[in-house]
Amino acid sequence: SEDVLLHAWRTRVVSRAREIVKKGGVAQYDPVNTSWLHQLPGLSVFQDGPRRAQILLMQAGIVMIAEPQIPGLAIDGAAFLDEDVPVIGMTIRKDDIGNFWFSLLHEVGHVVLHRLTGLTSGFFDQFEAQAVDEQEAEADAFASNMLIPEERWRRSTPRIASSPQVIEKFAKELGVHPAI
C-alpha cells in the first residue's frame, strides 16, 4: 500500500511541476552552473525563505513543489527527473525549520551529485531511516556541509557549549537560521 501512496503523491508533484514548466517559469537546468547553490542556506533567515528558495531553484532550472504527504506515507522529500527537468518534492511532514532546510538541501544534493546516477528513477527520502546507500550518505553530507561547513563546525563554540546565545551568534556568523 505504501507503493500506491508514493505513486499517488509523486503523480501529484509531477502534475504541479508540469504546470509550472508549462507556464515558462523555469530556466533550463545547467549542471555545470552551481553559482546559485551557496545562496540557498542564507535564505533560511527570511520569513519567506522557502518561497525565495523556490524562486532561486526555478531560476537554476529546478522545480520545487511542496505537496502535503498522504496519510500512511512517511517521506520527507524526493528528487527526480520529469522530462529532463529536475523536480524536488517536499512533504513538510515535520513543521520544523531545520528539517525543512536539511531536507531541501539533501534533495538539491541528489540533483547536483546524482543527476547521472539515479535521478531518472528518483530518490524518495525518509530521514528517520538509516541511510545505508552511498548516494543517500553523500546527499546527507552535502546538505550538512552546505548548512554548516564541517571545518567551521569542528572549530565552533556551539559544538561544546550549546547555549542559545552561543548558537544564535554562530548561526549569525554562518548566515543561517539558528534552528539549523
Q: What local confidence, expressed as pLDDT, does residue 74 receive?
A: 83
Answer yes or no: are the C-beta atoms of 38 and 32 closer than 8 Å: no
Number of separate helices (H) and strands (E) present in the chain: 6, 4
The set of residues, in sequence order, having a beta carbon less than 8 Å from that of 65 and lying 6+ positions away, is: 13, 16, 17, 20, 87, 88, 89, 90
- Which grid coordinates belong to 145? 556541509
Strand partners, 78: 89, 124
- pTM score of the predicted model: 0.91
Record the cell numbers describing residue 76, joined without a space. Answer: 520527507
Strand, coil or helix: 65 = strand
Q: What is the pLDDT of residue 127?
A: 63
**Residue ranges, the chain, pLDDT below 70:** 1, 127-132
What span, in angstroms and rounded, lies between the C-alpha atoms of 16 and 10?
10
Cα torsion angle, 45, 46, 48, 53, sign: negative
pLDDT for position 118: 83
- How many of the other CB atoms lie within 10 Å of CB of 23? 8
| Residue 143: other Cβ atoms inside 10 A | 22
Q: Supply the pLDDT for residue 25.
A: 81
Q: Give the per-residue pLDDT at 124.
A: 84
Is residue 57 within 8 Å of 43, Cβ to Cβ? no
CA distance 80 to 59: 18
Nearest to 86 by CA among 124, 19, 30: 30
Place of cell 523555469: 26
pLDDT at 22: 94
Predicted local confidence at residue 105, as pLDDT: 97
